[in-house]
Each structure stands twice: as C-alpha cells, then as structure tokens.
Amino acid sequence: MKTADTANGQTINSLSSTADTRRQYWLSVMAKASADRVKALYDSLPEHPTWTTIRPAETGMVMVRGRVGGDGNRFNMGEMTMTRGAVRLANGVAGLGYVQGRSRRQAELTAVLDAMLQSPETNALISTRIIEPLAREQRDARDIRARKAAATKVEFFTMVRGEG
Amino acid sequence: MYVAVKGGDAAIENSQSLLAEERRGDTAVDELDLEQIKQQLSLAVDRVMTEGSLYDEDLAALAIKQARGDIVEAIFLLRAYRTTLPRFGASEPIDTGDMAVRRRISATFKDVPGGQILGPSFDYTHRLLDFTLAANGEPPAPTPVAEAPVDEAMPRVTELLNQEGLIEQESADDDQEVFDLTRESMKFPADREARLQNLARGDEGFLLALGYSTQRGWGRNHPFAGEIRMGEVAVEFTPEELGFPIEIAEITVTECQMVNQFKGSSEVPPQFTRGYGLTFGHCERKAMSMALVDRALRAEELGESIEAPAQDQEFVLAHACNVEASGFVQHLKLPHYVDFQSELVTVRALRKAIRESAANQEDPGMPPAAE
C-alpha cells in the first residue's frame, strides 16, 4: 500500500476506487495528521453533526514489526502509542478512528469524520474541507524534507592526474 | 530470619521534594517545556523511544525532563509507563525499502543508485565547540532546498549484491509465529527474530562496546557499512472491524545493513554474510552496533567458532537491557543490614577459630585480629 505517495484528492473521487480503498485513504490521512490540525479543521466546519459513542476513545499500543535484514522474517521492533474510538451519527452511519499518539479527541473526531465521509450527503464537504488540506500539508512536508535531503546528495567528480 | 525495618518516611518525602527542586534548578531560569526537548534534544528523545521500546515523542520528552536528563532513568520511566497500556495488536512489517529517505549512505558502493544522501549528520563537523550556540545566537541560516526531491524508491545495497548472488538472501516466512519478549522469556539458543527484538531495545553503550570488541579481534567478522538509511516509513495496522490495513502512523527509523566476511562451502560458492540493525528515530551509532552484534551472534549458524563475548548469546542477550541491569546493580543500595550482619558474624567466627588454632600451635607470627 502506498496511499501517501499515490493517492490524492483525485483518487478519493476516482470512479475506479473501491469504497474500501477510499476509506483506507482518508483514515490514513487523518491518522497521520496532528491532533491540533484535525481539531482546527473540524471546528472550521459550517455545521457539526450529533453522534453517539459506540466505543469511547481509548489509548493503547501497537507492536511495530520489522523484517530481518529488511526483507526476511518478521520481528518485533518495539511498540508505538495509538488511540482508537468508534461513533455512530444520527443518520445511522458508524465511523472509526485509529490515530497515532494519545489524543482521544483526535480519535473521536476522526471517527465522526469517517462516518461523515461515508455519508453521501457530507462526503464531498469533508473531502474538500478536511482530507484534501491535510493530504496537501502531508505531501508538502514530505516534499520539502525530500528536497532538503536532495541538497545533501554527494556529487562525485574525478580528478584527472598526469597527462594522457 | 527476616527482620522488617521501618522508618525514614519523613526523610524519603523530603528527599523527593529535594529531588524535585534540583530537577527544576534555579527558578530564575525559564523552565524547559516538552516541545523544546522534542525539538532541540531530538536525538535524546530518539534514544529513549528506541530503548524504552515505545514510539511516542511526547512521552519520551516528558521522561527526559522528569529524569533530569538521565537517559537510562528516562528509558526506565517509559518502559514502566508502557506496562499500563493495553496492546491493540501488531503492525504489518514496516517496509524500509519504501522509506522516505532523509539520509542514506553506503561505504561499499560510491555510485549507489539514488546516490549518497548525507542528510543531517555530525560526521563532517569538526567537533569543535560552537560558542555561537552558547551565546544564544541567531537562528541558523535557512538550509538549501534542491529543485528535485531525492528518489522515491532507493534499492537496498543488499539487493544490488543479490542480483549477482554475491550475498546471502533472507527468506520471509509469514506463517511463522513472531516471538515477543514482552510476553515470553528469552530461551537459549534464541532464534534471530528474538535476538533482534532484544537488541533493538538493548543499551546502546553495551552494544557499542560489544560491536567495537568484534572490530578489535574479539570475534572478528570483517564488516562493511553496506548501507545506512534514515527517514520516514508508514506503519500499517489492520483494525479488526475493517479487515483491511490502514496507515496509522508515519515514524522515523534508522536501518543499518552490515556486509560481512564471506564464506562458502562445497554446496554454496563464497558469498557475503549480513548483520542487521534497526532503531526508532535517528540512532545511527546504535543501529550500526546492533548490526555488528547481530552478525557476531550468528557465529554458530554460520559455522564459526564461538570464542568471544559478542558471539555468546546468553552473555549478550541476558545483559543488554539497561532497565534490568540498572535495577540489579542499583538494588545494592537497598538495606542489606541483616544479610551483612550474618556475614559479619561468620567472618568474626572464622577469624576467632584461626586465632585459637594458631595459639594452640603457639605460633607467635599470627597478628591479632582487629574487631
């Protein structure tokens, strides 16, 4: 899966994308965003839905795995914090939030937004107002990091000694 | 006989209060906030996350502040905290081949595809103290930004050697259960996956010294830094309700591929062997040390004689954890009054017996025992 590289605003609306792929994409974008950005963008929405909590947001850990030599058998590298939550909107649609770190508010809002994205009446609004800006910020951050790194790439040159 | 000793409550309370005051230091000086630690002591944060075995920059920064900068104490705090959290599951294995590279160097191939990317490195500094930092100098000049980013996919150096069959290949068996030392205790001989988990959270100083010992001849394995890369990778996790993986995080990791002495047999033509290191954050010295020790611990599997400490699984793996080591060394500070009393009695009795037997033999050379 390479959603961060390949997916963008167009992929969300692409007809060829399955519902799962689209959901995978927006959940990933919100999981990797900072809690502050998700809260700020959510607060900027013109209207806020009402919801009931299916599962209160809860912080725990995921064991991060690596591979021996990068490509061999799996091994347990160490854990990371993650927070998850689940909600149901008044329209009956359920949403899930799985986010990096320990922000319960981010997990809850991600679940609310996941449900709104699954609801045809709010999908376009949330895509435009929340997912696209977050994805753009993530792409830009990645691009600037990669270009600063590129400036440290070694350009070798060979010194010619002697004659002929 | 066990004699409980009580007392010292007030002294302990006051000691903790004094500790808190010393941690804060002069109140005329601004208090450190966690964001400053995260941003400006980021390599300390990375080490605490790696050996604390929990990727959370905020918690690591808090641990460093609370521990007054004592990194091993901070690691202990983070390890203790992680025991309070539930485990939601395990991620898909991270793909370091798909890393958004910020540093990538090879000491074996000059013209490695994707290039040598120095990134942020101490390697080319002169290690001279920079007094402009002491003067709270102006922010550094903006760093150059290239027109084009680094390549998105950079082949691993081990893959380049693989193409000619010059290096041993790893094979992945994803049906195999993954050993977890946080759930089960290490058993010897331990398989490589278990060893790597142990080394990943092992003390950097200990692994550095062991890695160094192999270079000095105590289990020599002729290493080359085939590749070191640092950057961001996605962490994928499959929530049970969804049934498909989502990226739940982007984390920074450092990976080291050591390319080591070759060996061949009647069946296999000579090829290079490998050692592997992987850490959270940017912990390059740790990743390199881990790769050296990983390779040294493969001695038996590769038919090498086990002669040096770094090749001895039990010696290395049973002593790599600084939380355990620090706990056992420091427990010596706890009251051992009764143990010691009994030893005193024994020593006095022994000396008395020797004195008496000497007197019986009328040996005037025996000095009087001091008691």
How does pLDDT run across B134-164, given as a tens digit for each residue? Answer: 887 677 889 999 999 999 888 888 888 888 8
Look at A84 and B239 and tell me if their CB atoms are within 8 Å. Answer: yes
Q: What is the pLDDT of residue B129?
A: 92
Residues B156 and B298 in one domain: yes
Please report the ipTM that was assigned to this predicted complex.
0.92
Residues B115 and B260 in one domain: yes
Which of A1, A4, A147 is nearest residue B145 as measured by Cβ atoms?
Answer: A147
Residues B225 and B312 in one domain: yes
Whether B132 is covered by a domain: the verdict is no
d(CA B261, CA B334): 47
- Give the gap in angstroms from C-alpha B246 to the nearest C-alpha of chain A: 5
- Residue written as token pair 């991620």: B91
Q: What is the mean pLDDT of chain B?
A: 92
d(CA B324, CA B354): 41
Interface with chain B: mutation pick from A20, A38, A64, A83, highest number of B CBs within 10 Å: A64
Whether A53 is covered by a domain: the verdict is yes
Whether A34 is covered by a domain: the verdict is yes
Residues B58 and B109 in one domain: no
Whether B1 is covered by a domain: the verdict is no
Whether A32 is covered by a domain: the verdict is yes
How many domains are there within chain B?
3
Q: How confident is the model at residue B169 (pLDDT cuts 50, 70, 90)?
A: confident
Question: Which of A1-5, A63-67, B47-51 has the weakest average pLDDT?
Answer: A1-5
Measured in degrees and rounded to the nearest 5, phi and psi for residue B202 equal -75, 160
- Give the gap in angstroms from C-alpha A40 to the nearest C-alpha of chain B: 19
Q: What is the pLDDT of residue B1?
A: 57
Residues B29 and B107 in one domain: no
Q: How confident is the model at residue A17 (pLDDT cuts 50, 70, 90)?
A: low
Residues B351 and B297 in one domain: no
Residues B361 and B277 in one domain: no
Contacts of B98 in chain A (CB under 8 A): 2
d(CA B277, CA B200): 8
Q: What is the pLDDT of residue B368?
A: 58
Which of A62, A99, A154 is nearest residue B118 as measured by Cβ atoms?
Answer: A154
Residues B292 and B252 in one domain: yes
The domain in which residue A18 lies consists of 3-136
The domain in which residue B112 lies consists of 96-121+151-168+180-327
Whether A159 is covered by a domain: the verdict is no
Look at B170 and A72 and tell me if their CB atoms are within 8 Å. Answer: yes
- HSE-CB at A102 with a 13 A cutoff on CA atoms is 15
Measured in degrees and rounded to the nearest 5, phi and psi for residue A153 equal -75, 135
The average pLDDT across B165-184 equals 91
Residues B287 and B230 in one domain: yes
Contacts of A73 in chain B (CB under 8 A): 170-174, 176, 192-193
Whether B136 is covered by a domain: the verdict is no
Q: What is the dihedral of CA B198, B199, B205, B209, to 10 degrees?
A: 120
Q: What is the pLDDT of residue B104?
A: 97
Q: Can the peptide bond before residue B364 be classed as cis, meaning omega within 30 degrees of 0?
A: no
**CA-wise closest residue to B51 among B306, B326, B258:** B326
Whether B214 is covered by a domain: the verdict is yes
Whether B32 is covered by a domain: the verdict is yes
Cβ density class B105-125: b for 16+ within 10 Å, e for less? bbebeeebebbbbbbeeeeee
Residues B237 and B307 in one domain: yes
Interface with chain A: mutation pick from B55, B251, B255, B260, highest number of A CBs within 10 Å: B55
More confident residue, B283 or B132: B283
The β-bridge partners of B89 are: A62
Whether A156 is covered by a domain: the verdict is no
Q: What is the pLDDT of residue B163?
A: 85
**CA-wise closest residue to A109 among A44, A20, A16, A19:** A44
Q: What is the pLDDT of residue B140?
A: 81
Residues B103 and B161 in one domain: yes
Q: Where are the alpha helices (DSSP H) in B100-201?
A: 131-134, 157-163, 192-200
| Chain pair A-B, CB pairs under 8 angstroms | 247
Q: Does pLDDT of A160 surpass 80? A: no
Look at A63 and B87 and tell me if their CB atoms are within 8 Å. Answer: yes
How many domains are there within chain A?
1
d(CA B237, CA B247): 6
Q: Which long-range contacts (CB under 8 A, 24 or more apart) does B117-125 make?
A: B117/A149, B117/A150, B117/A152, B117/A153, B117/A154, B117/B150, B118/A152, B118/A153, B118/A154, B119/A149, B119/A152, B119/B230, B120/A152, B120/B282
Q: What tokens does A50 get?
A: 């009402």
- HSE-CB at B21 with a 13 A cutoff on CA atoms is 6
Interface with chain A: mutation pick from B161, B173, B176, B193, highest number of A CBs within 10 Å: B193
CB B55 within 8 A of CB A100: no
Whether A161 is covered by a domain: the verdict is no
More confident residue, A9 or B222: B222
Look at B97 and A145 and tell me if their CB atoms are within 8 Å. Answer: no
The average pLDDT across B27-47 equals 97
**Beta-strand runs (E) in chain B:** 54-55, 87-93, 100-105, 224-237, 246-263, 271-280
Q: Which residue of B has its CA nearest to A147?
A: B149
d(CA A66, CA B112): 24
Q: Does pLDDT of B352 surpass 60? A: yes
Whether B29 is covered by a domain: the verdict is yes
Question: Which of A141-145, B241-245, B246-250, B280-284 has the weakest average pLDDT?
Answer: B241-245
Residues B261 and B371 in one domain: no
